[in-house]
Structure 1
């Protein structure tokens, strides 16, 4: 059932890929880091695999888990991902959503995973792709050795940063590799990014562009991290993989949610949903 669902989702992405308006851009980026390299053990340790669990009911049924998006561990109880990964999807609930963490090989038999207690999405706009960010509160605390820092509201990404994830060999085709892939991409100015997309696609405030060369994110990398290193050596979550036109399309960058612009929203959700407080059902920007 889960395999059929995943194939159906991929078919939907493929049929939308050539549409003209931003409302018809595939919600999920194609799923492999294009022209990247295998991440070494200990690298990109903040990367998580977001997986759906199916089956498991009854004495003879085993639970199966399938990767469908990425995400980033930002502290011992919270993961940042893309809103479009979990927004208004009736088949995704906190009961069947799991986070696989602390691994470069998500298919390893001993890979650690933990359930999701609650899902929070920003005021995501499916038509414009604005506010494509979500928070997942984990059921239990995990090791923070792999967490990446959240940027302050004043942070502005620049230079070369790293995008990572698990996914296809090319857009809407191939297979998802077990090993985590990573690639370097260059952050563009908003003006340069808008000029490359032209008048058909608007780059809204809260969106960040990177790439446009031979490396890029792709479907299944959705929700994953764009991490930049500061002059002091601190790794900062600059962006969340959001949308794009194909994968590694010449001159066309990938579009990310600019995490710094959601600093207040992130802090508010986390503060309002500590273990000692009653959880809220949603949170708007």
Structure 2
């Protein structure tokens, strides 16, 4: 089983998530070739952030809104396995498309506390979700925006196109993560089908904690370095909703083995609690 971590090690410090978030307009699907994907249009995923240690990308995360009245956020959501082992020097870079050339709109903030779900199990990858509290809030702009959260317990329909984006490897077995943000469209898959696929690998897929997305023939998927990043689906108003957090898979884009994501709707109460406890921005 592979986690979708980057070439550096995982991070760990203690953080939080948030209530209703304001999204941005739906992004246009572009091109063809993450694995099997394309370079994202610059500024089309303003919630995507790069988590870095000593200047090197290792995981992704998503900005969420923590206050209905303030255009800033000091919380990002990521995967528990990204922060489980502990690290120092964690920074979060937002408003970036090319990690090698951040640009004028980029914001880099230190992560001061991280919290992974108390029931996270590194052996089974159950409850693979975490939040990071930032030293100071990210200011919203054209290239830095939060993504909407789903309702608690919201179900994700089968065979709906979702989009995953990140700076991870573009092929299994590669050595270098992508310097530019990549994206790929993948359909959601019925739990019964996903569970059967992974049962052959000796891996249990929990219907409440996990979500599967990908093609039966493979070819398109998240990969190492995309961990913690967003899987989003367009909501009723055509705005992206964070339905999954990149978690794990067997290899990358292999036939019959779709990517597995933490099911965000299962964790909304926990995320909201962390926001109340940790976010300075969320306070009146």
Specify whether residues 77 and 129 from structure 1 end up closer, same or farther in structure 2 by C-alpha distance, changes over 3 A only. same
1:47-99: per-residue Cα shift (whole Å, max 9, x none)?
A: 1000002xxxxxxxxxxx1000111111211100001011023xx13xx1000
Residues 29 and 241 of structure 1 are in contact (CA less than 8 Å); yes or no, is this contact kept in structure 2?
no
Counterparts in 2 of 1:116 and 1:29: CA distance versus 1, 3 Å:
closer
Structure-1 residue corresponding to 2:64? 74
Structure 2 contact 6–58 (Cα < 8 Å) conserved: no
Q: Which of 240, 265, 269 lines up with 1:264 in the alignment?
A: 269
Matched, 1:221 2:221: no
1:29 to partner: Cα distance:
5.1
Structure-2 separation of matches of 1:150 and 1:222:
18
More helix by share: 1
Instruction: Please state whether the residue corresponding to 1:265 is helix, strand or coil.
Output: helix
Instruction: Please name the residue that 1:162 is paired with.
Output: 163
Structure 1: runs of 5 or more not aligned:
1-24, 54-64, 278-285
Q: Does 1:27 align with 2:3?
A: yes
Question: RMSD of aligned C-alpha atoms?
Answer: 2.1
1: CA distance between counterparts of 2:228 and 2:243?
12
1:248–1:50 distance in 2 versus 1, CA, 3 Å? same
List structure 1 runs of 4+ shifted beyond 6 angstroms: none
Q: Which residue of 2 aligns with 1:87?
A: 84
**CA–CA separation in structure 2 for the residues paired with 1:248 and 1:28:** 12
TM-score, scaled to structure 2: 0.79
8 A contact 2:6–2:177 mirrored in 1: no
Residue 45 of structure 2 aligns to a residue whose secondary structure is coil
Contact 2:52–2:90 (CA<8 Å) still a contact in 1? yes
Aligned to 1:108: 101
Bigger radius of gyration among the two: 1
Number of equivalenced pairs = 239
Gaps of 5+ in 2: 8-32, 66-72
Whether the 8 Å CA contact 2:222–2:252 is kept in 1: the answer is yes
**1:252, CA displacement in angstroms?**
1.2
| Structure 1 match to 2:50 | 49
Q: Cα–Cα, structure 1 residues 262 and 173, in superposed 2: closer, same or farther, change >3 Å?
A: same
Q: TM-score, normalised by structure 1?
A: 0.79
Higher RCO, Cα 8 Å, sep 6+: 2
| In the alignment, structure 1 residue 206 sits paired with structure 2 residue 209 | yes
